[in-house]
Structure 1
Amino acid sequence: MADPVRAIIIGAGQRGRAYAQYALEYPDALQIVGVAEPQTYWREHVATTYAIPEDKVFTTWEDVAKLEKFADCVIISTQDSMHADPAVAFADLGYHILLEKPMAVTKDDCLRIHEATKRNNVLLAVCHVMRCTPYSLKLRELIQCGAIGKVVNIQHIEPVGFWHQVN
């Protein structure tokens, strides 16, 4: 059996902790080996939960990027407007990237990320987890079996409140 993928959590908010949870459920597949999070409580929570050594616990992603590569990938789940710079920096360091949606908030930043991953031949996966939620899967099933008639249009609007943009 192959060694587990070693990942660094960049942004240990709700989404970052949700992705990290996979390591608890499947420790043979994923190991969390570092964390960067400005909020002390969540940084310490992740460090303790995943037994991350003190020298791999950081306040900022920039501090992680100063070190030699020590993991296979990074999971970037910072605030939306903060995705581009760490994605480019970690691609340049040779890390594969799991990037929370949206990829970036501007076209130029999306292009920067794309160019960096191509230039460094690293994998980039942008998470769109809403398509895998139980209600989305059920809706897809109902549409495919024709149970709800002919679908002409679907508008899926994520109810984003003010707290979604709070640092």
Structure 2
Amino acid sequence: MTSNSSGTRAGTAREIQITFDCADPAALAAFWAEALGYKLQDPPGDFRTWDEALDAMGVPPERRNDASAVVDPAGDGPRLFFQRVPEPKQAKNRVHLDVRAAPGLTGDARMAALEAEAERLVSHGAARLQRFEPAPPLGAGHIIMADPEGNEFCLD
């Protein structure tokens, strides 16, 4: 393989991490772990808990919710990283996640599956924003949601 100007080998995919700026990393990480079937990232090394690891690192209690991360338990999906920022969300997302809640389903069955997932996520702090009905041939139907801090995502 040849290298390109960035130093990566041509044809080699890079791992990605999706980063969320937020006010409460622990709470948002817990929401997205629930939404995606992810888990909180394990503490580093031989530490049994994050509190043990953060104690050893000298992180003061008031800084322990500065960041959090969730990972796919199977190791296939991207890591989601949540970092505390001082400013609130101010505009519509330019990039959003599509949560595939009804793969392979069409019509009424698809929309029923999306509605059930929307209801489940609302019970965990999400907000339902708008429903788009199926519009064949290209529009299968989807529901726009917002996570507990207002970041838009779609159930599709």
TM-score interval w.r.t. the shorter chain?
Answer: under 0.3
TM-score (norm 2): 0.27
Higher strand share: 2
Higher helix share: 1
Greater C-alpha Rg: 2
Higher RCO (CA 8 Å, separation ≥ 6 residues): 2
